[in-house]
Amino acid sequence: MIRSTFYAQQAVNRRQSLVLVLAVLALLAVLGFAIGYGTSGYAEGGLVVTVGALLLGLLLTAGSYFAGDQLVLATSGAKEVDAQSAPQLMNVVQEMAIAAGTPMPKVYIIDDTAPNAFATGRDPQHASVAITTGLLQKLDREELQGVLGHELSHVRNFDIRFGLLVAVLVGSIALLADFFLRFTFWGGGRRSSRDDRGGGGLQAIIFVVAIVLAILAPIIARFVQLAVSRQREYLADASSVELTRNPAGLERALAKIAADQEVLEVANRATAHLYFTNPIKKFEERSSSMFSTHPAIVDRINRLRQLSGEAPLAEADVRALTGLD
């Protein structure tokens, strides 16, 4: 029962992630076509704009694909460790890497008492896992296995690369919309290439649609990106249970980390999506629940309880955990 249940959760999360990515891709295509047709009066113009925006986005993100992981580790103050300096941690990481069927990642420690962790790297052959000292101090071995199983699942599932694909599409939409609005504001605007042949009416309508889309599309794309991120967190939770066969350890880790009031100073909005749980607490000024990259802790725990056939969290536990993440 447990195997079929967590495999079912994985399948659902993968399908939902794919649907969301296709939605962003469709949004980019519609926006590109509307801008291209609205400004040129020709369908070919829409295709040129769409392809151009995607190529520009790919070019701008190429650097982050190859060097982004080292930048994140450096800004987080992470220091690499080995079997001599952190034997227990290396042993647990090795266990999870073997279970996941991935190469042993590089392991880093962040000197911070707030319990959390993240994985980065473009593929399993270039992966790194970073763990705070607070996580090592406050979690027992089973809980640590749950967290590291989650992070190694991100590596195995190519979530970093998947997130980069979504970021490329969302970035392309933002760049295209910003360029078009600036172009329109500074007096570019619609070209009446079809006015003499009676096509100017349709062109004008699509031009107005393009303006509306240019305003709304980046916002919609951002929300879709957040939805994709949340689905990948659910997927990593289910995959962690596949590796550890112990949903209780991961559940306890989620509850402990959510209840911990320590602030992870090195985290910011640009890196928050990488962490095991949202490192920016609700009581902080920099917090924004509308743009949270992680599902609610209560939802994640209840999904884990489904795997073992347990009842959902009691009302008192829900109240205690609500609003902490």
Count the neighbouring beta carbons within 10 Å of the beta carbon of residue 148. Answer: 32
> What's the rounded Cα separation, in Å, for the pair 9 and 250?
16
Count the neighbouring beta carbons within 10 Å of the beta carbon of residue 1. Answer: 8
Q: Is 315 a catalytic residue?
A: no
> What's the rounded Cα separation, in Å, for the pair 172 and 244?
39
Pairing relationship of beta strands 106-110 and 117-120 according to DSSP bridges: unpaired
Q: What are the backbone angles phi and psi of residue 31, rounded to the nearest 5°?
A: -65, -45
Side chain identity at residue 237, one-letter code: D
Polymer length in residues for the chain: 325
Q: Which of 151, 233, 242, 251 is catalytic?
A: 151
**Beta partners for residue 107, in sequence order:** 129
Closest CA to 107 of 122, 138, 121, 128: 128
> What's the rounded Cα separation, in Å, for the pair 234 and 317?
20
Tokens of 108: 């880093």
Q: Give CA 304 to chain center in angstroms.
A: 20
Catalytic residues: 151
